[in-house]
Amino acid sequence: MKALLLESVHPLAESLLKESGIEVATRPGALDEDELIQALQGVNIVGLRSKTEITPRVLAEAKDLQAIGAFCIGTNQIALKEAAARGIVVFNAPFSNTRSVVELAIAEIIVMARRLSEKNTALHDGVWDKNSKGSHEIRGRRLGIVGYGNIGSQLSVVAEMMGLQVYFYDTDDKLAMGNARRCNSLDELLEVAEVVTLHVDGRPGNGGFFGAKQFARMQPRSLFLNLSRGFVVDYESLAENLRSGHIAGASVDVFPQEPKKRGEPFTSPLQGISNVVLTPHIGGSTEEAQEDIGRFVATKLRDFVERGTTTLSVNLPSLTLESRPGGRRIMHLHVNTPGVLAKVNSILATHDVNIEGQLLNTAGENGYVVTDVSNLPQAAVDELEAMPETVRLRIIH
């Protein structure tokens, strides 16, 4: 098995994969579509972060690809449905960098409320400006969290411990943490919150959902943060509201177009505006988070390679069959239609194959069955591969 790790994923991931006998190559930055197609020839596993896009064209050309590891939370950079249709499993790290993003959000709220970026710039320019005007404590302020998932809910707990009054809005019915109060609509949240922070996912439907209308409904002189996805916010409108003074400060960590490599030029309509904190998509970029992400995703990839385990996969049925000593394991990814399991077992029975363990799970259009057998003639393998429902067949042990 060969793996390619892109975008400087944590070295622990490389070590864990190598310990499993996987040949690993690494590249520091992201690749564009043509570069990626060329790099994936003969590669079975690819690891990436948020900059590299796995498009349908890439999947069509990557004939040997079996697994994708997203060493981050989001998977909107991967054509998940097309990957599933080709039997390519995708794993991500939905929890590993949660705390890092929460801590950055809290830090940026304090920085904006105390206008620290302006004080810092003034001192670097040789100007002593000891002045409390426009500087506030965060205690007692009303924080509005848009998106109450793993990050939003943990931010809710930490913020309340620091004395903020927490309000949240989510399209799903989420249980409030602590004393947080649920808002029935985004407009309701915007009308009450003094600080608004976005923690929504990267689904296409969220594109451009926060713009001029939403900024207009925010409290005058309120603060705004986006540590979720760059394409969900109209930054031109945000810049206008900052310059007019309607929004008193903003912190932004994600952008619609981001450089693929460190050191490349970057432009934004938010540059040069007072009390604006811009960070280069570093919400989860702490050494602790990256190490945990490296361990989590690499372990999922390893378990898939060694045992066919798909637990917590984002695009294929989740399945774990306990390993048995000796024998062989058949992993059969197929189109989810009635009778597939019966066909698989009929083929095995025809060739006098003894089944020692078996588990099936389905999700949407996809089915996945893992079968442990004591013997497996090549003729049985050929018949399983020839089944019209078969998407991918893999044998291990």
Q: Which residues are catalytic?
A: 229, 258, 281
The three-point CA angle 346-358-21 to 5° equals 115
Secondary element (H or E) of residue 200 = none
The three-point CA angle 48-54-57 to 5° equals 155
- What single DSSP character describes residue 175? P
Contact 29, 35 (CB under 8 A): no
Is 205 exposed, middle or buried, given 0-12, 13-18 or 19+ CB atoms closer than 10 A? exposed
Q: Describe the crossing of helices 340-350 and 378-386 by its angle, rounded to 10 degrees.
A: 160
Contact 295, 16 (CB under 8 A): yes
- Rounded Cα distance between 172 and 178, Å, is 18
CB contact set of 219 (below 8 Å; sequence gap of 6+): 190, 191, 192, 193, 194
